[in-house]
Amino acid sequence: MGSNKYAVSFQRSNSRDEPQYYIRAFHGRYVAAHPDGQLVTDDEDINHHDVQWMIINQAHHKVALRILKHGTFLSAEDGGAVRCSDREIQRDCLWEMKQLENGKYAFHSNHHRWLTATGMTDATPPEQEAHLLTTKEQHHEQAQFDVIEVDN
């Protein structure tokens, strides 16, 4: 499923002057983090949720994904759950970010699992299912994301 090219060009600091990014799931909806740490991919409109992320390069070809508005980091748990509540970069907040041959990105956690978006539809209320989780399966479209720089 693609090359192992690391996205090292995403070297960024914590400054609000640095570029921010939207992360869009395979179904066209954006990854958002609410103030309570809930992660969703339930809207195609970038104006409705907290959807701007910073990509902070870390050691060993890893990145940390920080939601700009709340200052919390996307992290993965061993069992597959994903949360956005840590205010400091912990081991669970580190992701290997790989650019795939089709131009999309995949995020691999320290637990050897892939960030995955559900195929949520408007018929499924957001509070009834996890929108983001990690799975051991890499070879499907749900583990591929667009990373789009925000135009300021």
Q: Does any domain span residue 131? A: no
**Which parts of the chain register pLDDT below 70?**
1-17, 48-49, 119-130, 139, 152
Q: Does any domain span residue 101? A: yes
Number of domains in the chain: 1
Q: Does any domain span residue 111? A: yes
Structure tokens at 44: 């195609």
Cα(24)–Cα(116) distance, rounded to whole angstroms? Answer: 11
Cα(109)–Cα(114) distance, rounded to whole angstroms? Answer: 6
Q: Does any domain span residue 65? A: yes
Q: Does any domain span residue 44? A: yes
Give which of 96, 109, 99, 105 is closest to 144, Cα–Cα. Answer: 105
Q: Does any domain span residue 130? A: no
Q: Which residues does 70 contact at the CB level (< 8 Å), separation at least 6? A: 33, 35, 50, 84
Which residue range(s) make up the domain with 73? 7-120+136-148
Q: Does any domain span residue 19? A: yes
Q: Does any domain span residue 126? A: no
Give which of 142, 149, 151 is closest to 107, Cα–Cα. Answer: 142
Residue 107 pLDDT: 96
Residue 143 pLDDT: 93
CATH code (residue 31): 2.80.10.50
